[in-house]
Amino acid sequence: MRPIRLKTPFKSATFLPWILMATTILLIMAVALLAMVSASLKRSSLYSRQVSAVNIAEAGINYYLWHLEHNPNDFWDNCSANSADACRQLNPDGSYGPYSHDYTDNSGKLIGNYSLLIYPTNDTNIVKLKSTGTVNGSTTRKTITTDLTIPSFANAFINSLTDEIYVDTQEVINGPVWVNSSNKGIRNYGEIKGKTNLTCSIDSTFTTKWVSDSYCPGGICPCAGGPGKFDTTPIVYSAAPFNLADIDFNDLKSKAIAQNQYYGDSNKQGYHITLADSQYSITKVSSYKSNTAAYGQINIEKSYLPSQAYAGNLMFFDDNVWVDGTVKNREMTLVSSKNIFINGNITYAQNDSVAKLGLVANQDIPIVSTCPNDLTIDAAMLAKNGRAYFQSSGPLKGTLNIYGAITQQGGLEFQWTSSGIVYWGFAHAGYNYDNRLLYTPPPYFPKSKSYQIVNWHEE
């Protein structure tokens, strides 16, 4: 007898809903995946266009930096010289433009366009530049805003263009230090601090004049060395950032004449100016001592301008000038075609964040021997063909405090020591860099020729 086999008939109707459900789910997942891929591609495409727009906007910034390098006072993108033309008209927001340029790749294919708005704000030495990049064939655009400025010659507390900088045992520098001449360096027996850019440019080593120093056997010294304290590591640069030969004293004279603050040859030995809040006084110097024991000391003065209101922010003296007094709520620069003598304290009024003073001498900036025992100098000092120094070999002074900057053809010369003992000059000296001076120096204080970006942000 054969076994009985039970047959269960296939009922497609039973599984059909499940098949349809699975198919639907797969379709939904496929559609969702396609949507995700499409969205991702769109995001990728948008991101790519946004990156391109930023690159195009940056190209606009770089283009105008290059333009200002060749035309530092052209805020109109080389448009017509006629001030009445439309391209030179000031917009309500204080800008000039927009000035539009195509942006192409190396093959000449059009990639996009950048549009420039230029905001010259000469009162603060800042030029704001706004560049908007647009990608060809799309509405994608990005805007970059930058602040451009020209650094001044007061780019460090002490900037020597011809000699090494010797920091003595009782000297403390809080600020950057530069040596911008070949085969020169920094010899530190005191302290250089402040976490600032301690810089020794052009050569990583130099040959010292004092070959007996133990830290540089044979007279070959590191760019910055000595037993003193350094808070930063020196950086070696390949070239000086500026050239003092670029300073045009004739141009400064013309600008002072235009402000009615030009003083010609005194027909004596020079002028003595005392600065005050809203006015200054000037006397003529009949004679002064030139020996080292009493260097720069004024013997006789003749009354000239006992009280004079400031007519501008630049004074030019075609003679020697002795300076002392207080600067309050004022930015100004004093220029001498000869020497500027520090005759006494030169200070900014207390709690005055506005005050700035520039002293620009064609020759030297000496401190007179009859200055106060404790002396304060608040100023940016520049000696084009000389240096700032204390010449006297008389009794030892107390403390010298300088808040500002010194740019000159030499190193620090305010005290002299031997075996750690201060023999002449100031027994103690504290030097603090006024970091306002780099980008916003006193009016007409010499500046380099190239703009730099100091602020950058994407809108």
Q: What is the pLDDT of residues 192-212, one digit of tens each?
A: 987 667 888 788 888 877 777
DSSP classification of residue 95: -
| CB-based contact 317:344 (threshold 8 Å) | no
For the chain, give every domain's residue range. Answer: 50-149, 158-437
Confidence (pLDDT) at 15: 62
Q: What is the pLDDT of residues 19-41, one digit of tens each?
A: 777 777 777 776 667 766 565 55
Which is nearest to 348 in space by CA: 321, 380, 313, 310?
380
At 57, list the tokens.
Answer: 């906007």
Q: What is the pLDDT of residues 299-327, one digit of tens each?
A: 888 888 888 999 999 999 999 999 999 99
Confidence (pLDDT) at 263: 97
At 235, list the tokens.
Answer: 């950086």
The mean pLDDT value for 254-268 works out to: 96
Task: State the pTM of this model.
Answer: 0.81
Which letter, b or e, does each residue of 102-135 get, where b requires 16 or more Cβ atoms within 10 Å of its Cβ? ebeeeeeeebbbbbbbbbbeeeebbbbbbbbbbb
At 369, list the tokens.
Answer: 């021997």
Q: 3-class SS at 141? A: strand
Q: What is the pLDDT of residues 153-198, one digit of tens each?
A: 998 999 998 888 889 888 999 999 988 888 888 888 899 987 667 8
- Residue 407, exposed/middle/buried by CB under 10 A (0-12, 13-18, 19+)? buried
Residue 3 pLDDT grade (very low, low, confident, very high; cuts 50, 70, 90): low
Is the pLDDT assigned to residue 44 strictly greater than 60? no
Confidence (pLDDT) at 41: 54
Q: What is the pLDDT of residues 288-297, one digit of tens each?
A: 998 888 888 8
